[in-house]
A and B are shown apart, each in its own frame.
Chain A
Amino acid sequence: MHGRLKVKTTKEQEEERRVKRAQKVKQYRLAYGRIVEKRQAGERDEEGLQISQQILEMIPDIHSLWNYRREIIEHLKESGSEDDLQRRLESERHLTETCLRANPKSYGAWHHRTWVMDSMPSPDWQREVALCTKFLNLDERNFHCWDYRRFVAARAALAPQQELSFTDDKIAVNFSNYSCWHYRSKLLPLVYPDPAGVRPVREDQHRHELELVQNAAFTDPNDQSAWFYQRWLLGRSQPAQAVTRALVSPGLCLVATARPAKARGLGLQLLLDSRPLDGRWRSADGQRCSSVWVFEPASPIPSPLPGDVAARFLDASGAEVDVALDVVADGSSAALNSVPAFGAPLSPALASVMMEELDACRQLLEFDPDSKWTLLTSVLLMQTIERQQFEAETVLTLDTLVELDYQRANYYKDLRSRLVLEYALERQRGDAVDLTRLSLTALYHAPLLALVKTLVLDDNHLRRPLPQLAALQCCETLSMDRNELVSLSGWGAMPNLRRLSLRGNALASVDSLAPLACCPRLRELDVRNNPVASVEALRSAVKAVLPGLGVLNGEPL
């Protein structure tokens, strides 16, 4: 245990202990050596069990010894009766118990016990439940035991309701308990499934759980275990798979999806006049699992398009879903460019619960304006309740968090980047998207930008590699002036990029520009106000990387 005072012992005692210890080490070496010999010789016998038991009783964390025991028992099983096996495994169970008593957090002993119980011809699961209860009464945060309890509960087919009330008791003793909250999150959907499938649990129980978290939060806002649990309760469920962007034109066909997937698994197809097009899919970023898929048709796309255009994919249940693309007036191309849905709609009842939670957070903040978990939670709540209404407050709160919790500042900045981008993408859906001065540190939702032709990211804080740029399959002009780029390594390929402006970044070496080779159509590049701009060999080096480049830093090449 932490912080316990160690009692100094007298010299004689220390000496006595040293001698004892030396003896123990000698015995251990001898015994372990013998085990290794035996195991190598393939001897799987009683002697092996005896010797390994002696060592394990002293040191329960030697996995090899547990494994050896398992080998021996499995071997002996073949020649013995079922009763023999039962007896043997019972004594095995006893051994793990002895070990766990000495070290209740022994990985090896818990793991071995799982095997023992699973192999036992007639296991007594109730006894195991009682054992778990006992261990958890002694230390309610022993996650090994919580793990084992879940295993036992499944085997013993314990009523989830009963287990849930066990977690009730443990939470009451000490709510700072990740394992216990986690177990609740596993049990609640079994006991109180939500018929509507919107929430993790039925609405009335959901309310109760939120109250529980609120009590924990107001008792100790700095304890993060309950906040984590609350996140599960409030968490937006994974967005359903959907086609968010699509384009069919003679020059380029692509589909962007809400979540990364494999084209085959997703059953992606493009339909022209209700007939599937023949051809093959390739991911924009070269990954097997991707959110942007480019279609290479076997025969050219006719122009004008002969009729309706649709994209087809399989939803979670395997049913085909068709999404119609809008065909432009002259019939030259068809596109899907709908308003993205970032928040799942809430039922009025749930919305009012969330509103109460938000009010509670605000009250809490009156007492502790600096409580980071409360601030963060209020952001998540605002996003869940009515994101449009809370745009300014969301950004403001995240700014506060960046100040308060500098160790996690980058996390908050990234979160802010995502939310700010979501607001922006709801407003801008044209060919040109302007994301200037949004304090972005990361570029989220790139697949939603798959159809954008002009993207302006000036005056942000982008610094890290941007492989997600590969989603910008249509982008012809990209401006990232006054960011913090030091290198372009890791950039995704933008096949249609013609103009790239990187003024006022921190690009220092010519090598840092090399990745631009993956943008073969680049005609104009601007790297003024970068250290690299003053490099003498810049022009020739750039020319080598980008033979097609016509204009560098505003001057013809």
Chain B
Amino acid sequence: MASANDLPSTCDVIVVGTGMTESILAAAASRVGKQVLHIDGNDYYGGLWASFNLDNLNKWVKDCENPENFASDPDDPNSDVKINNGEEFVFLQNQTSHISNIEVKWHIPKKLTETQVEQWSRKSQTSQEEKESSESDESKSPTEEHTLSRKHTNSESEKMPSVGFTRNGNWTQEDLMRDYRRFNIDLAPKLLFARGSLVELLISSNIARYTEFHAVTRVLTWLDGELNAVPCSRADVFATRHVSVVEKRMLMKLLTGCMDSDNLVQEFQGFESKTFLEYLKSKRLTAHLLHYVLYAIAMGTDTTPCMEGVERTQRFLNSLGRYGNTPFLWPMYGTGELPQAFCRLCAVFGGTYCLQHPAKALVVANERCVGVVSCGQRLMAEHVVMGIAQAPTQYLDGQQPSGISRGVFITNKSIMPSEKEPLTFLQFPPGPSHPNPVTVIEVGPSTHACPQGLFMVHMTCKQSKSAKEDLQEIASFLLTQEDVSPSDYDISTDNRSTQTSGQDPHHHHSEGASGSGDEAATVRTKPQVLWSMYFNCLETSKNSYSPNAPENVHLCSGPDLELDFEFSVQQAERLFKKMYPDLEFLPRAPDPEEIVIEGDTPEVVDEDGNSFEFDEEVQQPSS
């Protein structure tokens, strides 16, 4: 990490922003000997691809809600930095403009102990409020972190309930915040196909040594109103008790048929212009199998064209059997680790890094970008790479990008508990009220996504309304969400007093806050949401920038809707070839023992290179 004062004023490539594509490009340029300066206005890596602990996430949410809080360049470039003749400054955007409809909510009380329940009083409540942050204070500005139900605002009735909380497994906000460092909450959760281009790139470039992965343990689907494990590998098909042996044969035959490249043309003759659904129907698959193949394995919809469905099935199957029982890997510590791994390689080969160093403007002369204005400095470079989120509006094609709806839920158990800690991928098929499939990834404590005893559920889909509207129905299928806000204390207290009557006139959550312990025991099969977040993010992978942008400015898309990193890797490679047509894209980095520094004993290039713990759970892509 360089301090702001000793940044090279001239270099080959300036990369603005540490998103996935930008970081791959930075690594690739540095690897072939280019002098790279990589800056980011944030105090963290990854931009819209970052993973945060709970505390940092709260800060990020605040910043998104108050864009003016965002780290900004204190200097006015016009006043400090001289514009030479023929130059102009093209100002960059603030990346938070890509985030909208953000909604964060606690579903558990702040604090709870047995004695506090007994001794609950307005007095202690007030003192708590002073001590802690402002969650329960209704008078705060709407920009505070929690979206509170205002319907029942009544400071008089803020009393601690007992019934409602015991059912949450006694988790409190305090419990979670005490462990805030143990969370890694992803803004852009993505899986890696075991034979996808990112895994291959990590291996071929030798960047895999900076990363650790867990294999996804199971693929689930939503079928007939419940969760079903999808038999996707040979071992799964053998072991499953949910399909008959005849179905097993049908399934295996269909899957091997899709992989049989010799007979592919013959097999799919006549289906070129039909849908994958039609093909599957022609195979007389049973309803269950059809569902497994179309929605879970091919991750398609009823309108997915046949050959696309076949390709998707192939992609799924090709990745099977490499690292575990499913085709997917999940990065330990979250997806935010991946851009950092590339940054690390870039740094090893001499790249200069500076966080909290926002770029203010591009310096353009004669339709060429000559550099970047940042923190009162002119930084000159041959090429400028930047995330599309910060790109000047006039460089974009003007097409309104589509959006991604995201939901993140901290829960008290897995959506389908299993003997060993599961790591779940679930492609929720489209339904009448949600036209788009929803990608659900559930990660547990062993991936360092959350502390022991908790799980984290990520939901992603194409945006049609707000993230909450798009996702809350699916969330309600899988999870139980109770609103526990100070206003609810009132109701719950009522509940306690009217428990025997079983009716609560104020009660507005059909399942959530109702009932006695007995009922709770029967209803409580779904995990309880302890904390939730919804937000929308622009989907910029389809956007291009207009030809009036200087040709040495290279824009990188933000997180795309696809499950994997295919797009980023390909975009990075494409941009690299445009920058350096004659150079190799991320050739294999030498191992430490292969590096000999002249006149010295062999030295380890990077001490972290050998530091992983290799236990059975951790999957390490290697050749």
Contact = CB atoms under 8 A, between A and B. Distances in A.
A367 B245 contact: no
A215 B249 contact: no
Interface string B233-253: 011011100000110111011
A4 B249 CA distance: 30
A173 B238 CA distance: 9
Contacts of A218: 245-246, 248-249, 252
B594 A220 contact: no
B253 A172 contact: no
B246 A216 contact: no
Nearest to B244: A218
Contacts of B613: none
B623 A172 contact: no
A137 interface: yes
Interface string A167-202: 000001111000000000000000000000000000
Interface string A215-240: 11111110000000000000000000
Given A5-B623, A172-B238, A175-B238, A215 B248 contact: yes
A272 interface: no
B160 to A, nearest CB: 48
B257 to A, nearest CB: 11
A10 B596 CA distance: 13
Nearest to B588: A7
B235 A173 contact: yes
A172 to B, nearest CB: 5
B607 interface: no
B581 to A, nearest CB: 25
A13 B590 CA distance: 12
A405 interface: no
B246 to A, nearest CB: 5
A505 interface: no
A409 interface: no
A314 interface: no
Given A214-B245, A360-B245, A219 B253 contact: no
B623 A216 contact: no
A173 B235 CA distance: 6
Contacts of A173: 235
Interface string A521-552: 00000000000000000000000000000000
Contacts of B156: none
Contact of B253 (A214, A216, A367): A367
Contact of A137 (B235, B245, B594, B616): B616
A15 interface: no
Given A214-B245, A367-B249, A219 B623 contact: no
Given A7-B623, A368-B253, A172 B239 contact: yes
B623 A13 contact: no
Interface in A344-383: 360, 363-364, 367-368
A137 B237 CA distance: 20
B246 A219 contact: no
A219 B616 contact: no
Of the candidates B239, B249, B250, the one having the most CB atoms from chain A within 10 angstroms of its own CB is B249
A363 B246 contact: yes
- Chain A contact residues, majority secondary structure: helix
Given A5-B623, A13-B594, A364 B238 contact: no
Contact of B235 (A4, A7, A175, A360): A175
Contact of B252 (A7, A13, A220, A360): A220
A219 B594 contact: no
Nearest to A173: B235
Contacts of A364: 249
Nearest to A217: B245
Interface string A484-496: 0000000000000
Contacts of A367: 249-250, 253
Of the candidates A10, A220, A368, the one having the most CB atoms from chain B within 10 angstroms of its own CB is A220
Contacts of B594: 10, 13
Interface string B42-80: 000000000000000000000000000000000000000
A138 to B, nearest CB: 9
Contacts of A219: 234, 237-238, 248-249, 252
A13 B593 CA distance: 11
Nearest to A171: B238
A315 B399 CA distance: 92
Contacts of B239: 172, 215
Contacts of A217: 245
Given A7-B623, A13-B594, A137-B616, A172 B235 contact: yes
Nearest to B237: A219
B317 to A, nearest CB: 14
Contacts of A363: 245-246, 249
B245 A215 contact: yes
A426 B234 CA distance: 45
Contacts of A368: 249, 253
A163 to B, nearest CB: 20
Of the candidates A4, A137, A363, the one having the most CB atoms from chain B within 10 angstroms of its own CB is A363
A216 B238 contact: yes
Nearest to B253: A367
A4 B238 CA distance: 27
Contact of A220 (B234, B246, B250, B616): B234
Interface string A1-37: 0001101001001000000000000000000000000
Of the candidates B235, B245, B246, B594, the one having the most CB atoms from chain A within 10 angstroms of its own CB is B245
A221 B238 CA distance: 11
Nearest to A172: B239
Interface in B163-181: none
Contacts of B246: 218, 363
A181 to B, nearest CB: 13
A392 B234 CA distance: 36
A141 to B, nearest CB: 13
Interface string B205-239: 00000000000000000000000000000110111
A10 B235 CA distance: 41
Contacts of B248: 215, 218-219
A229 to B, nearest CB: 13
B92 to A, nearest CB: 43
Nearest to B248: A218
A241 to B, nearest CB: 39
Contacts of B253: 367-368
A10 B594 CA distance: 10
Interface string B598-623: 00000000000000000010000001
Nearest to A226: B238
A217 B237 CA distance: 11
A221 B234 CA distance: 12
A363 B248 CA distance: 12
B586 to A, nearest CB: 16
Nearest to B240: A215
A4 B623 CA distance: 8
Interface string A263-277: 000000000000000
Contacts of B252: 218-220
A13 B596 CA distance: 12
B322 to A, nearest CB: 12
A95 B480 CA distance: 56
Nearest to A175: B238
A137 B239 CA distance: 18
30 contacts: A4-B623, A5-B623, A7-B623, A10-B594, A13-B594, A137-B616, A172-B238, A172-B239, A173-B235, A174-B235, A175-B235, A175-B238, A214-B245, A215-B238, A215-B245, A216-B238, A217-B245, A218-B245, A218-B249, A219-B237, A219-B238, A219-B248, A219-B249, A220-B234, A220-B238, A221-B249, A363-B245, A363-B249, A367-B249, A368-B249
Given A5-B623, A218-B245, 20 more contacts: A7-B623, A172-B238, A174-B234, A174-B235, A215-B245, A215-B248, A217-B245, A218-B249, A219-B234, A219-B238, A219-B249, A219-B252, A220-B252, A221-B249, A363-B245, A363-B249, A364-B249, A367-B249, A367-B250, A367-B253
Please list the 3 inter-chain residue pairs (A to B) with the smallest Cβ-Cβ separation, ordered nearest first: A218-B245, A218-B248, A218-B249
